[in-house]
Amino acid sequence: MTASKLAGAFLTACLLAFPIDDVDAQERAAHALETPLPGPTSAAVPAPAASPIDRLNEAFFKADRTVDYANVDGPRSWYREHITTIQHSTPLIGCWVGGALASRAGSGALLGLATCAAGSVGFSSIGVLINPIKEDVEPSPELDSLFSSLPKRDATSAINLLSGSLDADGRASRQQTLAKETKSRGAEIAAIKERKQQNGSIWGQILLGAAQGYLAYEANKGRIAAASAMPSIGGGSSTPSTTIYRRDANGQSQGQYQAPLAKIAPSSSPATHGDGSYPAGPHCADYARNAVRENVYYFSVTNICNYSIHVRLRDDRHGVIEFDLKPGKKYTDQVPTDTRFLIASCPDITDRETGRSVVINGQGVKYSKLGRDQCVLL
Amino acid sequence: MKKSVGLIAFAMILVSPAEAKRRVDAFTGLTPKGYIVQNAPATLRVADLSGAKVAIIPSQNFLNFMKDMGRWFRPEKQRNLFGERPSAENTNFLVHATEPQLLTDRLVEKLSGLGATSFIANNLPDAKSQGATVFIVFDYHGRYRDLSGIGGFIPFTKEKTGWESSGGLHVLDGKLQRKLQVEATAMDEYRDSSMLPGMNEQALKWGTIISGSQRKFLDDLFLRWDAAVQQ
């Protein structure tokens, strides 16, 4: 292998080992040649005029002078202190070495020039690569002045709280806890929503109940046809309504209605009118209405009877009587013997004095066929 | 009109957080009034953060959020006019889900993964005196949104509540020049099961939508971060 080949191989190795596509250098060059773009909330500051050569010079050779030497130690410190000399001299050294090798190999002037150039680039690259220390902020009175002019907001308690983020264990614990709780609480939300959906909106119940009560009151006074006061149950809909009002012992309306404290399934049938006849169909509103007419002052329904029925009945002899009502089951043993009403079986209510079924027996079956115990009172 | 609806809604649901403080500029309280942060000539690179000492400084919006969380969602505050309280489990969930550290946790983790050491600082001069070489102003604004409008007052309609998270990260170099700015906005919604949700549902609602919107916000924010920061 000839000396020229050796020189070429050496310089090629230099070029391969120390490529010149150094990001730092390229960026510095690129940014030196362009004016900074204004950001979304900041105003652009025009860069001072400088020749392209000056900018390149600034980018390649002067930018790194802004170094806090106090923070640099060892060989790098020495390098930093002599950075200008090194960066200026490495291309010359490279050129000299390359040229000398080419000359000794007896090559021509052209090869000498080429190796000189290649050597300078290679050695310059060495200079760039052994300079991994980042550009730090140059201590300057202007910068100190800037920082001293900034407001010193005090939010120590908040800062102390947020400093909890610095603890890796605390971070992991917080995230695990939240993930676990989110999962379990999510199930609870679903349960709440399902339950609320089933029962309907409380707010809606109150408003609609008030409207129902008022309409029923007007209906009792004969102002509004009773049929229009009771919305349809809608084929088994669980939409609740409330009809609670009172009459005197003679069946006459006292012109009052109770506050809509409870739910009761609505009726689509005409209301009874005190003539002893009862409408067809097991209508919840009729239960209440009839009970009230028979001097049961307060006939309270505490839930929709889809699943189980709880009857809360108050007459003027015994006060409140509460019992569960299920289709086909006798409840006579649950109420005092002198109670005016007996609930024989759902949906029957029997008047002890007249022996008459308050609600026509068998109508409840219609609802049972829907798969629900829509009998009514609860 | 909208305000009166809001007031009625507040009276109805009793513990809804009042409207959060108006959003201010991210640098309010950190820089002098009228000061404009200049852009740095070079955008942020991953290498800039490797080995850097980063100060995380919460914005005034972030501090307001923390104050609001403390005011609204302390366990002892979870009681309505009737004395109803959420269960202990749901109270814990609410407290955990609204912890402001959950926001900074993600940033600290991100910086740690990039080789930076971080600390939380009160203000820029303090951060500088503690040796910060990079400053990140963390801007976060949380806002309660009543999404049901007037429809929420019609019987059988449902109230819809939202929590909107917005803000961003402003990365400044040692000369207080902005090297990066990424911003994001996200919202999480909850449809109440009734106009009068109980305290348990209230606790679950707020915990869910606040933590949910923050998670979406942070996901979006760091996606933008990854796209903007040069490798």
Alpha-carbon distance of A247 to A15, in angstroms, equals: 108
**CA A14/CA A18 separation, integer angstroms:** 6
Closest-CA distance, B102 to chain A, in angstroms, reads: 7
3-state helix, strand, coil in chain B (%, to 5): 40, 25, 35
Q: Cβ neighbours of residue A106 under 8 Å, at least 6 residues apart?
A: A3, A4
Separation of alpha carbons B204 and B32, rounded Å: 41
**What pLDDT is stored for residue B218 in this prediction?**
94
Q: What is the pLDDT of residues A138-189, one digit of tens each?
A: 556 777 878 888 888 888 888 988 999 999 999 989 888 888 888 778 777 7
CA distance B187 to chain A (A): 17
Cβ-based burial of B148 (10 A; exposed 0-12, middle 13-18, buried ≥19) = buried
For residue A194, give the 3-state DSSP assignment. Answer: helix
- Look-up: residue for tokens 């600390």? B119
Beta strands B53-58 and B134-146: pairing type? parallel
Full DSSP string of A190-208: HHHHHHHHHH--HHHHHHH
What sign has the CA pseudo-torsion A86, A89, A95, A96?
negative
Rounded average pLDDT per 10-residue block, chain B, 231 residues: 47 48 87 87 88 94 89 78 82 88 94 93 92 94 78 58 92 91 90 73 88 92 87 72
Residues 190 to 249 of A: which have CB under 8 A from any B CB?
Answer: 192-193, 195-197, 200-204, 207-208
pLDDT at A121: 67
More confident residue, A270 or A320: A320
pLDDT computed for residue A154 by the predictor:
84
**For the ranges A189-193, A261-265, A281-285, B8-12, the one whose mean pLDDT is highest:** A189-193
Query: Between chains, do A174 and B207 touch, taking CB under 8 Å as contact?
Result: no
- Quick count: other Cβ atoms within 10 Å of Cβ A51? 8
Using the predicted structure, report yes or no on whether residue A64 has a pLDDT greater than 70. Answer: no
Q: What is the DSSP-derived secondary structure letter of residue B112?
A: H
- The shortest CB-CB distance from A174 to any of B36, B99, B156 is to B99
- Mean pLDDT throughout A312-339? 49
Residues in B closer than 8 angstroms to A148, CB to CB, are 125
Q: What percent of chain A has pLDDT over 90?
A: 2
Residues of B in contact with A175 (CB under 8 A): 102, 105
**pLDDT at site A138:** 54
Cβ of A146 within 8 Å of Cβ of B121? The answer is: no
Structure token pair of residue B191: 């449809």
Chain B CB contacts of A168 under 8 Å are 112
| C-alpha–C-alpha distance, residues B207 and B192, integer Å | 13
Q: For the full predicted model, state whether its pTM sits above 0.80.
A: no
* Partner residue facing A153 (CB), from B66, B97, B123: B123
Nearest residue, CB atoms, B29 vs list A38, A153, A163: A153
Calculate ∠ Cα B171-B223-B125, nearest 5°.
15
- Cβ distance of A178 and B156 shorter than 8 Å: no
Residue to mutate among B120, B171, B219, with most A CBs inside 10 A, is B120
**Does pLDDT of A282 surpass 80?**
no
Count of pairs with CB atoms under 8 A, one residue in A, one in B: 184
Quick check: A189 and B209 in contact, CB under 8 A?
A: no
Q: Do A174 and B101 touch (CB under 8 A)?
A: yes
The DSSP call for residue A70 is G
Is the Cβ of A70 closer than 8 Å to some Cβ of chain B? no
Amino acid sitting at position B7: L
CA B222 vs. chain centroid, Å, equals 14
Read off φ and ψ for residue A349, nearest 5 degrees: -125, 125
A126-135, A215-224, A276-285: lowest mean pLDDT where? A276-285
How close B202 comes to chain A (CA, Å)?
10
B189 contacts in chain A (CB < 8 Å): none
